[in-house]
């Protein structure tokens, strides 16, 4: 059954994520954030993300002190913050 509830010819009826897996292309980025947290020995860790789409940051949100998100600002504007 579709999560959206609409049945269309040739459409995938089960759009849920249950039982599905994915291979992440940015796992190295997560590893870098977590390793940086370890090496900082209690110092503040701030992550800056440049996004074109919304992101889920649950994997590292609790490990860092702040997350700055922008959708294409100039680097200088981010550094001024």
Q: Which domain holds residue 75?
A: 42-80
Residues 6+ apart with CB under 8 A from 1: 13, 14
Is residue 65 included in any domain, yes or no? yes
Number of domains observed in the structure of the chain:
1
4 band by pLDDT with thresholds 50, 70 and 90: low
Return the pLDDT at 2: 47
Q: Does any domain span residue 55?
A: yes
Integer Cα distance of 2 and 14 in angstroms: 5
pLDDT score at 13: 65
Helix (H, G, I), strand (E, B) or coil at 45: coil
Q: State pLDDT tens for residues 5-57.
A: 566 676 666 667 778 888 888 899 999 999 999 999 999 999 999 999 888 89
Q: Is residue 23 part of a domain?
A: no
Interval 48-67: pLDDT, tens? 999 998 888 999 999 999 99
Residue 11 lies in a domain: no
Residue 59, domain member (yes or no): yes
- Confirm whether 19 is domain-assigned: no
pLDDT category at 72 given cuts 50, 70, 90 is confident
């Amino acid at each position: 059954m579709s999560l959206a509830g609409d049945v269309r010819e040739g459409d995938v009826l089960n759009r849920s994520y249950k039982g599905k897996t994915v291979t992440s292309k940015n796992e190295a980025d997560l590893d870098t954030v977590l390793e940086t947290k370890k090496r900082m020995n209690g110092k503040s860790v701030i992550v800056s993300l440049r996004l074109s789409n919304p992101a889920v940051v649950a994997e590292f949100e609790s490990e860092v002190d702040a997350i700055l998100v922008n959708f294409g600002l100039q680097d200088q504007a981010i550094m001024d913050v």
